[in-house]
Amino acid sequence: MKKSLLALAALTAFAGAASAQSSVTVFGVVDQSANSIKNGSQSMKMLSSDMLNSNRLGFRGIEDLGGGMRAGFWLESGLAPDIGTAGGGNGQAGVTAFWNRRATVSLLGGFGEIRLGRDYVLTFSNRAAYDPFGFNGLGSMGNVESTLGSTAITQVRDNNVVGYTLPAMGGVFGGVQVAAGEAQQGWKYMGGRLGYAGGPVSVSAAFGKTYKTIAMTADYKQTNFGGSFNAGFLTIEGMYDKVDYGVANQKHILIGALVPFGASTLKAAYNKVSGESTARGAKMFSFGYQYDLSKRTALYATYSSLNNDGDAATGAAFVVAAGPTMTKGATSSGYNVGVRHSF
């Protein structure tokens, strides 16, 4: 009995020492909005998620290893509060992954960060950084983007990623990534990003290539350049993005602005895409308003209108939100009001 008590005391002391050098954080976002969507001649009223920020539940932690080195982990699941589900697809047919947003382990130090697991690809990070709507909701630049029929899963995230991020270097930032294909369609990837942020200016460029695998007949390539300028009363953002798959391509230009005043922020964006073969053009105008009730809670409203080029026989049909299907060449529009709370 005495030995057991001594062992328990030693274990408790060890656990206390370990926890003193470590931290684990529970975090998340709950975002819900009432939406009215019209795609072509069809319309739908719906309660939707992710219209200001992506819903999530996550756990992240960091441990001091000494000598300036740290270890970290990040596990993050998507949420759909309107129907009470969690997780989502990871690009693998028939698979629903609980930690579908991110699942990584890292080593960090003066050398930067080495990160392994399911993560954002750098070509996506570059696009989202200069979208006034943060790649979310009715105003997201993703509403007018096409995969060109490539079946690549790397538009936002990828599996099996090994990434390296530069340390802080006087405003210069960037990194490189590779991902193993593991005989899965559209997984094998390599990419890089390099940028500079200092004072009111931020600029960066990224490139990514998803290697042809199984049914993919060519490599899927993406290149983008973005920048922003913060004048205090106004932040102007811009992005050029180009994707190529075989003979098909799509070129995307975004110009946007953020206007903060008090607890409010006005948002506006114009997106235009054009391309060849399966990717025809579209133009989208989006306007948003956000009012911060606190650092964690916000009310918001958005309106977006998307005009498809092309016709019913050819071209790509883009929409401003999930909902009813639509005819190619038609107009898609929507508006919403919602609330977001983070924790």
How far apart (Å, rounded) are the C-alpha atoms in residues 238 and 226? Answer: 6
Q: Is there a domain that residue 19 lies in? A: no
Q: How many residues does the chain have?
A: 343
User: Which residue would you say has higher pLDDT here, 37 or 12?
Assistant: 37
Please list, in sequence order, all residues whose beta carbon lies within 8 angstroms of the beta carbon of residue 295, skipping any fewer than 6 positions away: none
pLDDT at 315: 67
pLDDT at 294: 98
Q: Is there a domain that residue 96 lies in? A: yes
Mind listing the pLDDT tens digit for each residue in 102-153?
Answer: 999 999 999 999 999 999 999 999 999 999 999 999 999 999 998 888 999 9
How far apart (Å, rounded) are the C-alpha atoms in residues 340 and 298? Answer: 5
Mean pLDDT to the nearest integer, 76-88: 96
Largest CA distance in the chain: 83
Please list, in sequence order, all residues whose beta carbon lies within 8 angstroms of the beta carbon of residue 6, skipping any fewer than 6 positions away: none
Q: Is there a domain that residue 81 lies in? A: yes
Which residues lie across from 42 on neighbouring strands? 39
How far apart (Å, rounded) are the C-alpha atoms in residues 183 and 199? Answer: 45
Where does 158-301 have alpha helices with state H?
none
Other C-beta atoms within 10 Å of 175: how many? 19
Q: Is the pLDDT of residue 9 over 50?
A: no
Domain that holds residue 80: 55-109
Q: Is there a domain that residue 104 lies in? A: yes
Q: Pick the range with the lowest mean pLDDT from 9-13, 170-174, 198-202, 230-234.
A: 9-13
Q: Is there a domain that residue 92 lies in? A: yes
In the chain, how many domains are there? Answer: 1
Band of pLDDT at residue 10, cut at 50, 70 and 90: very low
Mind listing the pLDDT tens digit for each residue in 252-288?
Answer: 999 999 999 999 999 999 999 998 755 578 999 999 9
Q: Is the pLDDT of residue 49 over 70?
A: yes
User: Which residue would you say has higher pLDDT here, 1 or 271?
Assistant: 271
Q: Is the pLDDT of residue 14 over 60?
A: no
Q: Is the pLDDT of residue 4 over 90?
A: no
Q: Is there a domain that residue 266 lies in? A: no
User: Which residue would you say has higher pLDDT here, 336 or 7?
Assistant: 336
Query: Tokens 């931290």 label which residue?
Result: 23
Q: Which two tokens stand for residue 133?
A: 């709507």
Where does 121-184 have alpha helices with state H?
122-129
Q: Is the pLDDT of residue 3 over 60?
A: no
Q: Is there a domain that residue 64 lies in? A: yes
How far apart (Å, rounded) are the C-alpha atoms in residues 205 and 224? Answer: 6
Other C-beta atoms within 10 Å of 263: how many? 12
Q: Is there a domain that residue 71 lies in? A: yes
- The C-alpha angle with vertex 279 and arms to 277 and 283, in degrees rounded to 5, equals 140
Other C-beta atoms within 10 Å of 18: how many? 10
